[in-house]
Amino acid sequence: MRTARRMAVRTVAVFCDADRHAMHVAMADEAYHIGPAPSQESYLRGEKILQVARAAGAQAVHPGYGFLSENVEFAEMCGQEGVIFVGPPASAIRDMGIKRRHLCGMRIVMQTEAFESQLESARREAMKSFGDDVMMVEKYVQRPRHVQLQVDHHNNYVYLFEPDCSVQRRHQKIIEEAPAPGLTWEVRRCLGEAAVGAGRAVGYVGVGTVEFILDESHNFYFMEMNTRLQVEPPVSEMITNTHLVQWQLKVATGVRLPLLQDDIKLSGHSFEARIYAEDPEGGFLPGAGPLQHLSTPEPDAHIRIETGSSGPGVESAT
C-alpha cells in the first residue's frame, strides 16, 4: 500500500473480524469487512474478495504472499471477472504447483535394497492421507544450503541474485543473507540462468521465487518455485537497488520491465531477520500473542524496518 500510494494508486483493504484495527485497514483508502476470523470464512473466500472488487470499482487484485497468492482457481476467477490478478497466469501457477502438491510422505533411502520397501511405504501413507500415491524420486543432499532467487518476467527476463536462507528452525526461515556467501560468479550466474529458464519454460509473467538446494561442492538442484513475491523481498531489493512491488504493479498493466539483466548491479550485502515467538512450556512450538515491547534502530539508507501491527501488539518486524 505504501508503494501504491507513491504511485498515486488508490488501495482497497479487506479484513476479517480479528483484523478490524490492523495496519493494512488503516492504510487503505477504503476497507471492507469480509467475514469472521477463520480464514476459510474470509481471506480464502475468493468470491467475497471479488465482490469487494466490484463494489469498489477495483481494476486489480494484489494477492500478497499468502492465502490466495498461488491459487489457480482464484487467478482464473479474476480473469473471468475482468479484474487484473497481480501475478502470473493461472497456467504458470498450475504448472509450478505440480511438485508442491506431491510433497507429503517423504522417505530417505541410503541403501539400494531398501528402496522398494520405502517406496511402497510412502505410497501407502500418501494414499491414506491424500488419496494420491504419485511419487517423485529426488537426490538426497546431505548438509545442504537453501538459496532462492527472485525473478521477474515481462519481455525482459531477469534475476536478482540469491539470498541464502539456510538458517531455519522448524523449516521456517529465520535469517536471510544476500548474496549467498562463498559462491563464485560462475555458480551465481548458473543459478540465475536456471531460475530464469524455469520461469520461461512455463510462460511466467511477473515476480516469482525459485528455490534451490546446494550441496557442499556448490552443485545445485531445483527445489520449487513460489509463484509470487517472496516473503522477504527487502533482502533482494537492498543489494540490487530495485523495488519489486513497484515492478509488480507496472508489469500487471503491461509495462515492460525497466531493466535488462546487465543493468542490475550487485551492491553490498544484506541480512534480514525474522522475529518470532516460541512457547517454552509447549515444547518450544511457535507461539502467538501480543508483543509488549520492541526496540529497533532508526531506519536509514542501510537499515530497513518492516512491521505489521494488529491492535496493541506487533506481529512481525524485519
Asked if 299 contacts 307 with a C-beta cutoff of 8 angstroms, the reply is no
How many other β-carbons are positioned within 10 Å of the β-carbon of residue 219?
Answer: 12
Q: If you search the block for the grid coordinates 519454460, which residue do you land on?
A: 201
Which residues are annotated as catalytic? 228
**Which parts of the chain fold into alpha helices (H)?**
2-6, 23-27, 46-56, 72-81, 90-101, 115-130, 185-201, 234-240, 244-252
Four-residue CA torsion sign, 229, 234, 238, 242: positive
Asked if 69 contacts 183 with a C-beta cutoff of 8 angstroms, the reply is no
- CA–CA separation, 131 vs 143, rounded Å? 32
Asked if 236 contacts 163 with a C-beta cutoff of 8 angstroms, the reply is yes
Give the chain's end-to-end CA distance (angstroms, integer): 18
- CA–CA separation, 184 vs 75, rounded Å? 38
Q: If you search the block for the grid coordinates 474478495, which residue do you land on?
A: 49
The letter for the amino acid at 277 is A
Cell of 310: 494488529
Q: Report the half-sphere exposure of 57 (CA within 13 A, side-chain side).
A: 3
